[in-house]
A and B are shown apart, each in its own frame.
Chain A
Amino acid sequence: DGGITQSPKYLFRKEGQNVTLSCEQNLNHDAMYWYRQDPGQGLRLIYYSQIVNDFQKGDIAEGYSVSREKKESFPLTVTSAQKNPTAFYLCASSMVKGGNSPLHFGNGTRLTVT
């Protein structure tokens, strides 16, 4: 079955540590996205990538970094510079960039930093 796999489902880290969230898709989609979800705030875009080796900042990119070395993979690193990293992180992909194509989401990673 095609889909998006995020791992792990739950992640716990100490403050000051960088942590990398995994996102893999086998849908052969060009575009991939990272969203952050906090209670009552909907989904906010962190980074997105429309093609391998290229990515753009979203609305809340500060304290995060990404890479897109392979079409199927788009890992997100939450750095120690992110002031409030505890959140639910969702990875998504779409067939093409822009507004024509639906987003397919992974099941998310819930990150807790203490």
Chain B
Amino acid sequence: QQPVQSPQAVILREGEDAVINCSSSKALYSVHWYRQKHGEAPVFLMILLKGGEQKGHEKISASFNEKKQQSSLYLTASQLSYSGTYFCGTVSYGNEKLTFGTGTRLTIIP
């Protein structure tokens, strides 16, 4: 079953912050985050493996709440280059498949 991402789309002005959420109905082993620009391949951002884990990648960070089976991606002081569609992917216990959400389209305007 696909994880649910919210919001489906968001438009920000350059310099603003955004939060993208990913939730699952299953107990999660890990959460992946990827960004895809139009017509291109998805690019890996980060993996979170432990409940409560937080990671950072430039001005993009994420948290993983294992108890709530949720992860959030935080984009601070957004730049034009952050535009694209963000996908979370989840791996649940006992299932080694990575299942992706339907994506969140992020548009940054000057």
> Chain B contacts of A108 at CB under 8 A?
40-41
Q: How far is the CA of A90 from the CA of B43 in the complex (A)?
A: 12
Q: In the complex the two chains form, is B99's CB within 8 Å of A59's CB?
A: yes
What number of B residues sit within 8 Å (CB to CB) of A? Answer: 23
Residues B40 and A48 in contact, CB atoms below 8 Å apart: no
A103 contacts B96, C-beta separation under 8 Å: no
Q: Which of B10-18, B65-73, B74-82, B100-108 lies on the face that meets chain A? A: B100-108
CB pair A42 B102 closer than 8 Å: yes
Beyond the given pairs A90-B41, A100-B30, A103-B34, 17 more chain A to chain B contacts, judged by CB atoms under 8 angstroms and listed by A's residue number, are A42-B2, A42-B87, A42-B100, A42-B101, A43-B87, A45-B98, A48-B97, A58-B97, A99-B29, A99-B49, A99-B96, A99-B98, A102-B47, A103-B42, A105-B41, A106-B41, A108-B41
Q: Are A100 and B49 in contact (CB under 8 A)?
A: yes
- Asked whether any CB of chain B lies closer than 8 Å to the CB of A79, the reply is no
Q: Cβ of B47 and Cβ of A42 under 8 Å apart?
A: no
A35 to B40, CA, bound (A): 14
Q: A42-B102, A45-B97, A59-B99 are in contact. Are A100 and B42 (CB under 8 A)?
A: no
Q: Which of B34, B87, B91 contacts A99 (CB 8 A)?
A: B91
Report whether over half of chain A's contact residues are helix, strand or loop; otherwise say mixed: loop
Tell whether, in the assembled complex, residue B30 and residue A90 are in contact, meaning their CB atoms are under 8 Å apart: no
By a CB distance below 8 angstroms, the chain A residues around B29 are 98-99
Most chain B Cβ neighbours within 10 Å, of A40, A44, A90, A105: A105
Q: Tell me which residues across on chain B come within 8 A of A42, comparing CB atoms.
A: 2, 87, 100-103
Q: Which residues of B contact A53 (CB under 8 A)?
A: none
Interface residues of B in 1-54 (CB under 8 A from A): 2, 29-30, 32, 34, 40-44, 47, 49
